[in-house]
Structure 1
Amino acid sequence: MSIEGWTVLITGASSGFGEAMAWRFAEAGCRLVLLARRQDRLENLRDQLIFTYRVPVHTICLDVRNFAEVDLLPQQLPKDFAKVDILVNNAGLALGTATVQDNNLDDAVTMIETNVTAVIAMTKAFVAGMTERNRGHIVNISSIAGVEAYGGGSVYCATKHALQAFTTAARHDLVGTAVRVTSICPGAAQTEFSLVRFKGDQEKADAVYNGFAPLTAEDIADNVLYACTRPEHVQIADILVLATNQCSAKGIARVNLEER
């Protein structure tokens, strides 16, 4: 299905999955609303997209945890961008690998608000317009951590399990409409995710991906575009994407780099 001319709002759009999705949707001829906290990156990405694909792009510098501002977004968007057809709830993060005995409560609240509450707020803000127009698609970027839990990820896994439940419930609520709801669950993908998780420790972040070929942001963007371009009568509910040498969250076959 062609989505040329559709308006797509992507949260966490300044890097990683969000940036890759912006490129894929721009290539498809969509008008873009890019939301993230880093204004300089947003503006640079906007300029590149407009130069390459000549599509309209609007940027918003906003933390998705500012729920009052999120609630006002539909009224504050410029007229040409106000009717959001596809909402991609991509902003999310993990902080640390603490056990349940050692969880940092500030980190826990940040993960819950970013990964769960912000998605609820963004969906509430834009789904009313979608149902009124009887056209739309909500894409939530979850994780393999929403399919299986693992040690050292209790809060992060809890947030992604909650996101999976919210996504399924949303599909139930919207079943009588033309609005589709999709969950994308990436496995090991090399973006800034691990760098954020390890709070800037590049060595620890790089070690996560040693010895195998991880997924890339572009791989996940391809899956998102696939889900959004199915025929109108087709709803892709869930996509779980793993690297070829990955069978579970922690089940990764690695080669000994010293033997290469």
Structure 2
Amino acid sequence: MREPTVYVVDDDPGLNASLAALFRSVGLKTEVFQHPQAFLDLPQISRPACILLDVRLPGINGLDVLEQIGQLGWTAPVIMISGHADVVMAVRALQTGARDFLEKPVNDTIMLQLVQHWIRWDANNYVCEVICDGIRGKLEMLTERERSVLDCMLRGLPNKAAARELNLSVKAVEGHRINVLHKMGVQSPVELARVVGVCPKATHNPMNCGRSVHSGSDGPAVCNFPNRRCGPMPAGPPALRVVARR
């Protein structure tokens, strides 16, 4: 995994310098952008990461930038910051995908705690995204008939029951089962269930496995990889001047 990175998008040079010094003092790589378009023009962002995004930016509202981040498919957590916050603005930011909404000025200790909290979340979530992407790639290799047989296998149906449900011969079902196991890279139905179970979304519809961007309705990627549970973490450390949190 790459070095954790904090992206600061704010048009205040003084604040940018202060935040960069703060994060770098604890070993966090920091990239600063005074112009939001320069940030949006990046081909990709490094992960794990946390994005600090000001609401008032030159030529564009920070909330519009937040929407564009979602459209780009960037799932790193975003903390919105503003010196002129209100409830309506905070609610819109959280609905659009921000993880926290803070009012300036923010205590350095609190800011550092929040950023480190969300970087830990993103590090965990990024690993799960990679795992789920690999599983999704294997699922996409299955034919429509093989996906139907996979569904029967995950529901624990014997070959005869699956054959009746799919209107196939038992021999045909057996052949599809072999293909499913081979394409998924497993040796048994038990191992198959364990692999597919890494992404719960695959249980009901194998093709739904994978990640979703913040602007989507399903939230971040979720997986049950051993010792990992991706998705929303418990609320971060109590913060002064936290206007709202999702």
TM-score (norm: length of structure 1): 0.37
> Which of these two proteins has the greater Rg computed from alpha carbons?
2
